Amino acid sequence: MKILRTTLVAAMLATTSTAAMAAVEGELLIWIGADKDIKQLQAVAARFTEELGVPTKVELVDPELPDKFQRAASTGDGPDLVMWAHDRFGEWAASGLLQPVEPTSEFKAGVLPTAWDAVSFNGKVWGYPIAIEAIGLVYNKDLISEPPKDFSEFAHLELPEGVKPILWDYTNTYFTMPMLMANGGYSFKKVDGVYNGKETGVNNQGAIEGAEVLAKLFADGIIPDGVDYGVMDAAMARGEVAMVINGPWSWKAYEEAGLNIGVAPIPQVNGNVSPPFIGVYSVALNSASPNADLASEFIENYMLTDEGLAVWNKNRALGALADISASEALHSDKISATLKNASTGVPMPSNPEMGAFWAAMAPALSNITTGKQTPEEALKDAASRILGE
């Protein structure tokens, strides 16, 4: 198999010519953000170069990787491959900045279907899934042995004096939307593979019901005012709160702070599952890249193999890997819990209208949690802003 692949790549290289652009024919340029381990990915790239003779460079682009890619790709520049959460792919594809990919059937079968769904729209696949990020209830096992299954249980928790039951970045829609989706709220729905940006469910009855439960947590004094991500994160690390709603990226810091943590589902809302948004960290192909075949070879037979993922994942966890066999090899309770949470989740929509969704929901949640508006009023206003009414 290796001989066949080497012959294929040699044929690819034999037909290339020098191009005056950032992406050079016969070479690969990859952009990665600061939240992932660049050195370990460079080790994978080095093996690709050594075995197949393809110069491959992995560049750290931080901050503002999405904006920098968008600017570069719009003028035919930028990397061959860019790695980011899938929710930007819809906008980039609609703007002509990405070219669709065609994973082999064998490779596709080894990756979770939910992950493929996240990077697929308009009948095409726009990236290769790498890892699934789904938030959950991260709890301190030394403060609480069994976390609540429903938000209604928080009023009756018994905790050590001075320990808050739960905190999260509640005006950040990414962390709070599960409560609104538990009973039928939604941002946008996908119909026949296409998101309908002209309709939103942020103010339907189910969303209002979830927002009312959120407001009650404040009215009952269970959650204090003035909490953002930094406040929550610091309180958790100091052992001042029993539970937080957070993602896999937070685990290492908590464990380094000496915490014994577990991961559970986000509490239900009135008996219904609170589905998290699923973010799928993925790799996409620049529409200006002349190296589509080389890119697929690197992705499918080097980077996203069990061996490649083990190397890349060695020092800084990628999260819940989308590759089924590589994920099973990790044998982690927290990873298993995250995959279970993801199985109930909703892929974060990738349509361009999501920008209006984020912009409208943050002030709505702020008004709900401070009591400036009722949940119904705040969500009605948010829906109007999202739809441009």
Q: What is the pLDDT of residues 38-75, one digit of tens each?
A: 999 999 999 999 999 999 999 999 989 999 999 999 99
- pLDDT of amino acid 242: 99
Q: Enter the pTM of the model.
A: 0.80
The predicted-structure confidence for 278-293, as pLDDT tens digits, reads as follows 999 999 999 999 999 9
The answer, yes or no, to whether the previous bond of 63 is cis (omega within 30 of 0) is yes
Across the range 366-375, mean pLDDT stands at 98
With a cut of 80, say whether residue 22 has pLDDT above it.
Answer: no
Residue 361: is its pLDDT beyond 60?
A: yes
Which residues 6+ apart lie within 8 Å of 113 measured at CB? Answer: none
Say which residues have a Cβ less than 8 Å from residue 135's Cβ, sequence separation at least 6. 174, 175, 178, 245, 246, 247, 266, 276, 277, 341
- Range of weakest confidence among 95-99, 265-269, 311-315: 311-315
pLDDT of residue 109: 97
Nearest to 85 by CA among 41, 33, 37, 38: 33
Residue range 114-140: mean pLDDT, rounded: 94
Percent of the chain with pLDDT over 70: 94
**Nearest to 91, CA basis, from 353, 384, 375:** 353
Q: Residue type at 98?
A: L
Residue 86 CA to residue 100 CA, distance in Å, equals 13
Q: Stretch 195-207: mean pLDDT, rounded?
A: 97
Domains in the chain, CATH or no CATH each:
2-133+278-347 (3.40.190.10), 136-275+353-386 (3.40.190.10)
Token pair 């996908």 in the structure block, residue: 190
